[in-house]
């Protein structure tokens, strides 16, 4: 059985300030570094075999907290970056709502391609699920920790489970430094492929 732990990065000033990060390279703040250290202590108890991360610093630095406890090296993968938010990257959500009310409403309603240069959900799912599958193949039958971003994690996990966008939207957002656990039982007799084992697990913050 292969276990995949899809871990969201720690808090940043963009998270705290209500800004859209997308693929901007916002670093962890002090709270985010503390969250990463606390979560890493829990994740280390899973005895991971492989550690893969988005190449954006907030994810890589989160992964580094676990790498320091396990001695694992971090394999960077740019496919694990957050959804690209086009014109909205770095902007306050309140400003986006007032300046782009139509597109904002479409985004909030789950439109897979709301405009303003935002990456479509289908494109996001395609690159992230490919990254998750490749990560899992690095340790068949083992435990793989993948450090990524909130939107990327949800869409990638939904795609790996074979869910349509409407079902994927029912997964609540991951808290900072929380993770989703997926297991692949396809190598067992009568196995059913990837299954959702747990969601939004982590240290309360």
Q: From residue 86, how far is each of 1, 20, 91 by CA, in Å?
A: 39, 10, 10
Q: Respond yes or no: is residue 166 known to be catalytic.
A: no
Is 200 annotated for ligand binding? no
- Is 8 marked within a binding site? yes
- Catalytic residue of the set 47, 60, 82, 97: 82
**Which among 9, 60, 100, 149 is annotated as catalytic?**
9
Please tell me whether 9 is known to bind a ligand: yes
The answer to whether the annotation marks 176 as part of a ligand binding site is no
Handedness of CA 186, 188, 190, 195 (dihedral sign): negative
81 is in an annotated binding site: no
Residues 6+ apart with CB under 8 A from 102: 115
Q: Which residue has the tokens 């790498």?
A: 67
82 among known catalytic residues = yes
Question: Binding site annotation covers 123?
Answer: no
Which DSSP letter does residue 115 get? Answer: S
58 has binding-site annotation = yes
Binding site members for substrate = 8-15, 58
Binding site members = 8-15, 58
Q: Annotated catalytic sites, by residue? A: 9, 82
């Amino acid at each position: 059985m292969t276990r995949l732990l899809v871990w969201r990065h720690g808090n940043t000033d963009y998270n705290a300030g209500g800004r859209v990060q997308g693929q901007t390279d916002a670093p962890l703040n002090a709270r985010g570094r503390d969250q990463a250290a606390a979560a890493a202590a829990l994740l280390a108890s899973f005895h991971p075999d492989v550690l893969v991360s988005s190449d954006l610093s907030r994810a890589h630095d989160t992964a580094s907290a676990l790498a320091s406890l396990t001695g694992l090296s971090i394999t960077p993968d740019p496919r694990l970056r957050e959804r690209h938010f086009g014109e909205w990257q770095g902007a306050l959500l309140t400003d986006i709502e007032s300046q782009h009310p139509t597109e904002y409403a479409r985004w909030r309603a789950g439109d897979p391609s709301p405009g303003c240069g935002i990456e479509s959900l289908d494109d996001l799912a395609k690159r992230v699920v490919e990254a998750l599958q490749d990560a899992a193949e690095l340790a068949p039958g083992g435990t793989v920790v993948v450090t990524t971003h909130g939107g990327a994690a949800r869409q990638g996990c939904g795609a790996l489970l074979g869910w349509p966008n409407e079902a994927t939207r029912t997964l609540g957002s991951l808290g900072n430094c929380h993770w989703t656990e997926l297991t692949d039982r396809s190598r067992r007799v009568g196995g059913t492929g990837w299954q959702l084992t747990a969601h939004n697990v982590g240290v309360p913050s």
